[in-house]
Structure 1
Amino acid sequence: MGLLLAFSRGVDWVNEKFGRVADWCVFLACAISAGNALSRYGLNISSNAWLEVQWYFFAAVVMLGASYTLFRNEHVRVDLVYGALGDRGRLYVDIFGLIVFLLPSMALLGWMTWPYFLDALQRQEMSPAPGGLIRWPAKLLMPLGFFLLILQGLSELIKRIALLRGSMDGAEVVTEYHRPEQ
């Protein structure tokens, strides 16, 4: 279990760094949006490239921030049954959800978006808008984001199993299991 928990700590560290990148992308997207609005309406100067880079940053927020949100246990969950369960029951529900829903769906989405990205990269696909940007960096965010979610899902699975086995304590992991507030 020690090796798996070390892997989990490494994944948590990586996704925390990508979460910080997503934080900066929020700031950059907002700054570009404000600057674009000011230049468009104040100076009557416009560029499709600025609009598209703003969209790229928003895409990065979602695709890179999703795994960080899972790491922080701040994702949305339907709390009808979950809230009524004890700690062990919640762990079993989490394990079931990770194995049956999260990991298979993220693997499928990652597998489906990889060719989409590769095609854009090989063709050096450009936006059809005048002054538009190259598309592959934005399309790379999809398989990358799904891969990060798979890794974080595995990390969360390891942590839940370790908690059930009593193999995990605060000294062994970067973060402790946080149950949602009731």
Structure 2
Amino acid sequence: MQILLQIAFWIDTLNEYIGRLTYWLTLVMVGVGAWNVLGRYIGQGIGQNLSSNALIEIQWYLFDLLFLFGAAYTLKHDEHVRVDLLQSRFTAKQKAVVDLLGTVLFLLPFCTAIVVYSWGAIANSWEIREMSPDPGGLPRYPIKSAILVCFLLLILQGISQAIKNIAVLTGDWQAPVEPGQREI
């Protein structure tokens, strides 16, 4: 079990690192968005185009990367939106069972299906070097590849979460206790 927990630690470290890098994409995205707005109005005032379709698409791509690469980080920190009326009353072991079942029955199959079914479209996009239909737009194939990376990172994080939940159930690891949660 210790080897599996070490693998989970490496996966957690990877997704933590990627998640923290994603923080910076937020600032860049906001900066590009601000420039797109300001450039449009300043450009109108001076009669010069200071924005472009490429800048607008960069803003979209940054948002895509922020959302996609932040997904595994969010899962790692258990910050996805939940509507759990009972979970606040669960012990750590009961929570581990529910999380393990959710990971094995829903998260991993869903992410695997996304990878399998999107592979062809993404490969085709690379094959034809798909470009934006907008004048001055950016290539689409690199950003489409982020879909695969995102769901592979989610699969890895799901594996990490499953390992940690199994370790909680076997008593090899104690999950951090959240405020208001009952002890094991």
5+ residue gaps in structure 1? 170-175
* C-alpha displacement of 1:14: 0.8
Structure-1-length-normalised TM-score = 0.91
Q: What's the C-alpha RMSD, in Å, of the aligned pairs?
A: 1.6
* Counterpart for residue 16 of structure 1: 16
* C-alpha displacement of 1:92: 0.7
Whole-angstrom CA distance in 2 between matches of 1:91 and 1:179:
13
Checking the alignment, whether the CA contact within 8 Å between 1:111 and 1:143 is kept in structure 2 is no
Whole-angstrom CA distance in 2 between matches of 1:103 and 1:181:
29
Checking the alignment, whether the CA contact within 8 Å between 1:73 and 1:180 is kept in structure 2 is no
Which of 91, 111, 115 pairs up with 2:96?
A: 91
Checking the alignment, whether the CA contact within 8 Å between 2:115 and 2:152 is kept in structure 1 is yes
* C-alpha displacement of 1:84: 2.3
Correspondence 1:112 to 2:117: yes
**Structure 1 residue ranges (4+ consecutive) displaced by more than 3 angstroms after TM superposition:** 176-182
Correspondence 1:122 to 2:127: yes
Checking the alignment, whether the CA contact within 8 Å between 1:29 and 1:58 is kept in structure 2 is yes
Which of 78, 101, 106 pairs up with 2:106?
A: 101
Which of 70, 76, 99 pairs up with 2:75?
A: 70
Higher-Rg structure is: 2
Inter-CA distance 81–52: structure 2 relative to 1 (3 Å threshold):
same
SS of the residue corresponding to residue 123 of structure 2 reads helix
* Counterpart for residue 30 of structure 1: 30
SS of the residue corresponding to residue 142 of structure 1 reads helix
* C-alpha displacement of 1:21: 2.4
Could you report, residue by residue, the CA deviation over 1:135-171 in whole angstroms, capped at 9, with x for unpaired residues? 11110111110110000000000001111111125xx
Whole-angstrom CA distance in 2 between matches of 1:179 and 1:77:
15
How many percent of aligned residue pairs carry the same amino acid? Answer: 40
* C-alpha displacement of 1:128: 0.6
Trace 1:37-52 onto structure 2 (pairs within 5 A).
37-44=37-44, 45=49, 46-52=51-57
Whole-angstrom CA distance in 1 between matches of 2:93 and 2:73:
24
SS of the residue corresponding to residue 173 of structure 2 reads coil
Whole-angstrom CA distance in 1 between matches of 2:155 and 2:179:
21
5+ residue gaps in structure 2? none
Whole-angstrom CA distance in 2 between matches of 1:88 and 1:106:
25
* C-alpha displacement of 1:177: 3.8
Which of 151, 157, 164 pairs up with 2:156?
A: 151
Whole-angstrom CA distance in 1 between matches of 2:128 and 2:177:
45
Inter-CA distance 59–178: structure 2 relative to 1 (3 Å threshold):
farther
Structure-2-length-normalised TM-score = 0.90
Checking the alignment, whether the CA contact within 8 Å between 2:92 and 2:177 is kept in structure 1 is no
